[in-house]
Amino acid sequence: MKKILPFLLLLSFCTADSSESLLDIEDSPNSSMSEEPVQTSTSTSIEVTQLESFEEAVYKVNKEMSSVSYLAPKQFLNANLEIVEGVTREISGEFRITLGDCDSADSCLQVRDLIISADLTTLKSGSSIRDGAIQNNWLESKLFPEAIYTVDEIVFPNNNFDSKIDETIVGILTVRNIEVNVPFSITAYMENEIIYVSGITEIDTTWFGFDAPTKFNAWEVLNPIGIKISIVAEK
């Protein structure tokens, strides 16, 4: 029995001040980040197997093995483009999953009561100026520290209880107390009763009440902003 859970979510994204921008690493198109990117421990090869049926299994996020990133396109006026990435591991959450027989397919995977949250105050991009701007200015994560993604219930047809799925899921993303339906394209699989999920989506900063950062006569950040997730969940 298999089909892995449509795990979603979370987002974190970028924001900055016009004079102290989160996307400003010395205002140079050739500047580089000083910190190493977060490495997430997930399997590189996926062997699709069959799972036994189960009901209402509760899975919780392992934050030590999970990460959420924003990917912000920063366009310089000289036409150079770079992608700024910020990452956090401060992720928590849980969900319930059931895998069993159903009328619409050989088997179905049901995900219920999914809630995932990320601490936006802990986003790290390699620039303290940029990270401070996220907290104090555009995103104002000091005032609105959590990004929350929720799904009440979603059911996926599963072929032969497969352990791997590729799906698009839609949940509610809450940032700055604003709720938006956001889809994620995900790949998820179960191995040794551990669930691994990778996914990506795009958001627009105006959905959540602020413009993308810009600095006059220097650069601008382009919407949409990419959101990348890598989640590991255990019973």
pLDDT(17) > 80: no
Q: How far is CA 95 from CA 6, 169, 197, 207, 229, in A?
A: 10, 14, 13, 26, 16
Q: Which amino acid does the sequence have at 151?
A: V
User: What digits encode the pLDDT tens for the residues 70-111?
Assistant: 999 999 988 889 999 999 999 999 999 999 998 878 899 999
d(C-alpha 221, C-alpha 137), whole Å: 15
Res. 223 pLDDT band, cuts 50 70 90: very high
d(C-alpha 27, C-alpha 7), whole Å: 37
d(C-alpha 140, C-alpha 152), whole Å: 28
Q: Domain 54-234 carries which CATH code?
A: 2.40.128.110
Q: pLDDT value at position 46?
A: 76
User: What digits encode the pLDDT tens for the residues 50-76?
Assistant: 898 999 999 999 999 999 999 999 999
Q: Is the peptide bond before 183 cis (omega within 30 degrees of 0)?
A: no
Q: pLDDT value at position 181?
A: 98
Res. 45 pLDDT band, cuts 50 70 90: low
Q: Which of 13, 36, 1, 2 is nearest to 202 (CA)?
A: 13
Across all residues in the chain, what is the average pLDDT?
82
